[in-house]
C-alpha cells in the first residue's frame, strides 16, 4: 500500500505516523522527493482499508499496489534510483543519466593479464573492471576460475587503475574474500537462489543481479525484491539474454525489457551483450542497441588474447575493438542527452 503525505507536513508528525505503522507490525519504506513524502507499507495489508489510513490528517492519498514486488516497484519509489559503486575519487554510479560501462575478462587468468586489460579498458572509457574469480561452468571439467587468488589479482588491477571491481559471488562462503569487491554480481544461475539473495540483503555493497536464462520479468523483479526486502536496496538489474528455441546465438537478447522496466521499476537496468550473443562480431551491434533503447549501462567482456582465453574467448572483444566501440556508443548516448 502506498501512502502519499501532504506537502509541508511537520517532520515530527511524519515520524510519529511511521512509528504507528511499525508498532502495528508493518514495514515502512520511505521515499522523499523535493516536496512529497511517499510511504510504502510492507506486509499483509489485505485487511487494511484505505479509510483507516485516511483517518490521519497528514495523509494526502492512498493507493494499493497489486504487483507482488513492492520495493522494486516505481509506485513505491517514483524517482530513478542512483546506485553508487565504489568510494572516494574512483566511485561511479548507475542510474544518473550516464551510461556506465563495465569491462574486463570473463575469467581472471594471471595478474599481468588482468592489469593490462584494466589499463586498456580504463583508457578507452570504462568506469568499472569486471573479472571472474569464481566461475559457474556447465561442465565440471571446464576452468572454474582461480578463486581467492583471482580476487587478489583484481585487487592489484584496482590499485593500478582505480577502477571499482565487479565480480561474481556463487556461494555465501566465498564472501570472506570479497572485502575489496565494489559490486557483487549474482549470476543468472543463482537468480532464484533465494537463500543467497536473502544474504545479499544483509551485505553493505551494491548487488548486480543477472536475469535467469528462462526467467520471466516478474520473476526477475521478485528476485530483486528478495534482496531489497532483506535490507539492501542497492540493486542493479542486468539483462543477459534468455534461452529460446533457436541456437544461432548463445542466448536471445531481450532489449524490450529496458523500456518496460524503466516504467515498472526505479532500479537501474544494464545489458550484457557478450553473454547475450556469444559471438564477438555481434557484441558492438547489440551494445549500440542497448544504449539506444535506454540501458543505464553495459557489461562487456574484453580479453587481450581471445584465441587463448580460458573462458568465453569467442565472445570477448580485444582492447583495440573495445577502444573503437566506445566513441561510437558515446554518439548513441548523446542522441538521448546522455554521456558515457
The verdict on pTM exceeding 0.85 is yes
Give residue 98's pLDDT band: very low, low, confident or very high (50, 70, 90): very high
pLDDT of residue 142: 78
pLDDT of residue 217: 97
Q: What is the pLDDT of residues 41-92, one digit of tens each?
A: 888 887 888 898 999 999 999 988 878 898 999 988 888 999 999 988 889 9
Q: What is the pLDDT of residues 310-323, one digit of tens each?
A: 888 999 999 999 99
The cell numbers describing 340, all together, are 558515457
pLDDT of residue 285: 98
The cell numbers describing 265, all together, are 521499476
The cell numbers describing 46, all together, are 489485505
The cell numbers describing 19, all together, are 512509528
The string of DSSP codes covering 50-79 is HHHHHTSTTEEEEE---SS--TTBTTT--S
Q: What is the pLDDT of residues 114-152, one digit of tens each?
A: 999 999 999 999 999 999 999 877 788 777 888 999 999
Amino acid at each position: 500500500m502506498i501512502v502519499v503525505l501532504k506537502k509541508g507536513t511537520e517532520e515530527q508528525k511524519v515520524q510519529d505516523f511511521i512509528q504507528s505503522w511499525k508498532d502495528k507490525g508493518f514495514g515502512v519504506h520511505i521515499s522523499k522527493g523535493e516536496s512529497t513524502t511517499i510511504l510504502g507499507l510492507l506486509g499483509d495489508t489485505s485487511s487494511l482499508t484505505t479509510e483507516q489510513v485516511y483517518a490521519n490528517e497528514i495523509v494526502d492519498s492512498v493507493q494499493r499496489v497489486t504487483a507482488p514486488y513492492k520495493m522494486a516497484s516505481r509506485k513505491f519509489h517514483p524517482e530513478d534510483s542512483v546506485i553508487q559503486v565504489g568510494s572516494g575519487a574512483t566511485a561511479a554510479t548507475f542510474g544518473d543519466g550516464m551510461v556506465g560501462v563495465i569491462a574486463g575478462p570473463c575469467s581472471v587468468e594471471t595478474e599481468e593479464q588482468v592489469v593490462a586489460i584494466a589499463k586498456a579498458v580504463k583508457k578507452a572509457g570504462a568506469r568499472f573492471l569486471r573479472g571472474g574469480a569464481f566461475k559457474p561452468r556447465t561442465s565440471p571439467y571446464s576452468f572454474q576460475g582461480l578463486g581467492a587468488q583471482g580476487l587478489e589479482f583484481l585487487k592489484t588491477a584496482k590499485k593500478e587503475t582505480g577502477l571499482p571491481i565487479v565480480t561474481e559471488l556463487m556461494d555465501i562462503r566465498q564472501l570472506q574474500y570479497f572485502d575489496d569487491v565494489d559490486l557483487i554480481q549474482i549470476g543468472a544461475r543463482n537468480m532464484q537462489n533465494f537463500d543467497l539473495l536473502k544474504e545479499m540483503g544483509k551485505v553493505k555493497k551494491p548487488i548486480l543481479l543477472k536475469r535467469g536464462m528462462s526467467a520471466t520479468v516478474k520473476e526477475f523483479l521478485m528476485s530483486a525484491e528478495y534482496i531489497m526486502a532483506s535490507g539492501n536496496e542497492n540493486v542493479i538489474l542486468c539483462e543477459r539474454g534468455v534461452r529460446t528455441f533457436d541456437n544461432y546465438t548463445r542466448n536471445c537478447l531481450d532489449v524490450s525489457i529496458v523500456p518496460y522496466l524503466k516504467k515498472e521499476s526505479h532500479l537501474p537496468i544494464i545489458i550484457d551483450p557478450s553473454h547475450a550473443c556469444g559471438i564477438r562480431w555481434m557484441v558492438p551491434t547489440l551494445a549500440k542497441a542497448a544504449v539506444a533503447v535506454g540501458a543505464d549501462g553495459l557489461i562487456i567482456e574484453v580479453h587481450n588474447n581471445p584465441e587463448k582465453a580460458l573462458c568465453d574467448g569467442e565472445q570477448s572483444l580485444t582492447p583495440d575493438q573495445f577502444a573503437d566501440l566506445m566513441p561510437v556508443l558515446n554518439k548513441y548516448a548523446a542522441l538521448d542527452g546522455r554521456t558515457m
